[in-house]
Structure 1
Amino acid sequence: MSRFSTLTALCLGAAALAATACTNADPGERPPVLDALESSGLTIVEEFDSDDGLRAFAAVAGQQPIAVYVTAGGDAIVGTRVDSRGNERDLMKLQELVAKPMGDRIWSQLEASEWVLDGSPDAPRVVYTFSDPNCPFCNQLWQETRPWVDAGKVQLRHVMVGVIKQDSANKVATILASKDPSARLAENEQRFRQGGVPAAASVPPNIRSVLESNHLLMMELGFRGTPALVFRDEDGTVQRRGGMPQGNDLDVVMGPR
């Protein structure tokens, strides 16, 4: 969801909530309208310096950093302030207070997840991808990333899920239960047009648990399909892509060739 789509959805709910919270708030006290916004799904992170008689708060809506501005009368305005040139006024503050800590938390969650290495463990750039062994776009991603992976510039870390077909989970079991999951994953991608690796007869409980955890993480990060990629850009900021990157965006994800 874009920033402005998020803003539209939140403002509709916030307008009704703010109407019931139009009492003057003392500076330094937590405005009551924030409780109303939190009950509607926002997470208030921290107050930051503002002007124009507004109190400003960094917040999170789903996985989206967003600002909340509280007026002297106690109303809340949820969204983005822009200056006369159309520039977002509080973008850097939201990045500092919300986006960076949230990105670091996401990265830690992915590091702690069960993933299959694709490439050299010494490759300097790490890209996480939620992958299904039956996903044609995952296979396309695998094919198109070989120049970076084979050159030792990027390591892909496949967080395996089983969501595409009935036997997806069983194919994940074949990959994860093997002595060399990386080689088994490569075999699946190389033989994708021929059906990939054979599906295991059953999914062991430990692998079923991994699949459930990985799928839950994928959903928590706002992804609804595969491939779904998470990487750090040149500034170290955690970025996400849902679906196969298009055009030059693959170079953004993977870095210099």
Structure 2
Amino acid sequence: MTKISQIRLIRFNADRYSNSASTSAAAVLLTAAISSHAAEYPKPIQEAVAHGVKVLKTFPAASSLTGWVLTQGADTSVVYTTPDGKTLIVGELIDENGQPLTKQYASKYVPAPDYAASYQLLERVDVIAEGSLIKPKSILYVFFDANCPYCHFTWQALQRYEDVGLQVKWVPVAVLGESSLPKAVSLMSAKDKKTAFRAMQEGFVPGKPTPAPDHVATAPTISEAIKRNGALMEKFGINGTPGIVWKDRSGKIQIKGGMPRLSELPLMTGLPEQKIDALELQKFR
């Protein structure tokens, strides 16, 4: 039998750039204490609270269900209880017209996270900057892993945009296997990081990983900085690479998890669409 403590809370973000179901959702932080009315909650919710889950909001849901926005750490979930309060429902609700309701409820009741503080931290991170370095027309921050093929494809796709005014600030993380960290440390230890990064990308062959140099033990400061980058990536609700963060023309922070479609790049960069002919990128149109 599944216990309340075993329920995995799902991250939602009501204000993301992409509405794709594959887009990772952002964390919603809750600082309020557990409600003094916890004892009045239905038994399944009381049990969840007893295991460290906090109630952020309740709302009336379809078919006389009660919706609950629950949070634990960096994760937030929308769940439901039946009218008698005895049963907890976890997952997507589908109405009679086949419309998913949980995402609608999340958009309405889960407050959009404030990424301002995280963005300020991001601006102070040691990065590898490519593209237009003097008066760029737009800037993207891209969290990448040295072993990530989709990071490589993203790098390829952005080259033409760099030619017309885009600056890309590559932020190394280590999330894809044991060799990720030593590769990242080697890259960030290089005398010319930009040249080392370009050489790595130009020599990248998907499915054929290169051996990892042993630089971790000799560069503990850089190693710890890369680990902090991973924690910062998670603060943006990104749980895989590539993860892209930028400010749109209005100054609003936007987030994209995963390899963007080529058709998304003009909106993300604020630049005219560029012709991309690479055969390996055509599947991302």
User: Normalised by the size of structure 2, how large is the TM-score?
Assistant: 0.56
Question: SS of the residue aligned with 2:227?
Answer: helix
In the alignment, does 2:256 pair up with 1:239? yes
Q: More displaced, 97-106 or 74-83?
A: 97-106
Measure, in 2, the Cα distance between the counterparts of 1:232 and 1:253: 12
Aligned to 2:65: 54
**Structure 1 residues 172 and 13, CA gap change in structure 2 (3 angstroms):** same
Question: SS of the residue aligned with 2:110?
Answer: helix
Contact 2:233–2:243 at 8 Å: present in 1 too? no
Q: 1:100 aligns with which of 97, 112, 127?
A: 112
Distance apart, 1:143 and its partner CA: 2.1
Measure, in 2, the Cα distance between the counterparts of 1:207 and 1:81: 46
Measure, in 1, the Cα distance between the counterparts of 2:253 and 2:185: 34
1:80-159 mapped onto 2 (5 Å cutoff): 80-98=92-110, 100-101=112-113, 110=122, 113-120=125-132, 122-124=136-138, 126-132=140-146, 135-153=148-166, 155-159=167-171
Distance apart, 1:149 and its partner CA: 2.4
Unaligned residue ranges in structure 1 (runs of 5+): 1-10, 18-25
C-alpha offsets along residues 102-153 of structure 1, whole Å, 9 cap, x if unaligned? 7778767755654333334634352523221x55553343223211222224
**Structure 1 residues 63 and 72, CA gap change in structure 2 (3 angstroms):** same
Contact 2:145–2:175 at 8 Å: present in 1 too? no
Aligned to 2:82: 71
1:156-195 mapped onto 2 (5 Å cutoff): 156-162=168-174, 169-177=181-189, 181-190=193-202, 192=204
Question: SS of the residue aligned with 1:101?
Answer: coil
**Structure 1 residues 164 and 254, CA gap change in structure 2 (3 angstroms):** farther
Distance apart, 1:207 and its partner CA: 0.3
User: Normalised by the size of structure 1, how large is the TM-score?
Assistant: 0.61
**Structure 1 residues 236 and 95, CA gap change in structure 2 (3 angstroms):** farther
Contact 1:129–1:156 at 8 Å: present in 2 too? no
More helix as a share of residues: 1
**Structure 1 residues 119 and 72, CA gap change in structure 2 (3 angstroms):** same
Q: 2:229 aligns with which of 180, 196, 214?
A: 214
Q: How many residues align?
A: 227
Measure, in 2, the Cα distance between the counterparts of 1:129 and 1:34: 37
**Structure 1 residues 46 and 139, CA gap change in structure 2 (3 angstroms):** same
- Equivalent AA in structure 2 for residue 91 of structure 1: K
Distance apart, 1:208 and its partner CA: 1.4
- Equivalent AA in structure 1 for residue 255 of structure 2: V
Aligned to 1:251: 263
**Structure 1 residues 68 and 232, CA gap change in structure 2 (3 angstroms):** farther
Measure, in 1, the Cα distance between the counterparts of 2:265 and 2:2: 34
Distance apart, 1:88 and its partner CA: 2.3
Which has the higher relative contact order, 1 or 2, with Cα contacts under 8 A spaced 6 or more apart?
Answer: 2
Measure, in 2, the Cα distance between the counterparts of 1:38 and 1:54: 19
C-alpha offsets along residues 16-51 of structure 1, whole Å, 9 cap, x if unaligned? 99xxxxxxxx99944442242356686643223446
Measure, in 2, the Cα distance between the counterparts of 1:30 and 1:46: 12
Q: Identity of counterpart residues, as a percentage?
A: 21
Distance apart, 1:85 and its partner CA: 1.0
Contact 1:59–1:98 at 8 Å: present in 2 too? no
Unaligned residue ranges in structure 2 (runs of 5+): 8-36, 274-285
Distance apart, 1:170 and its partner CA: 4.8
Distance apart, 1:94 and its partner CA: 0.8
Measure, in 2, the Cα distance between the counterparts of 1:136 and 1:175: 17
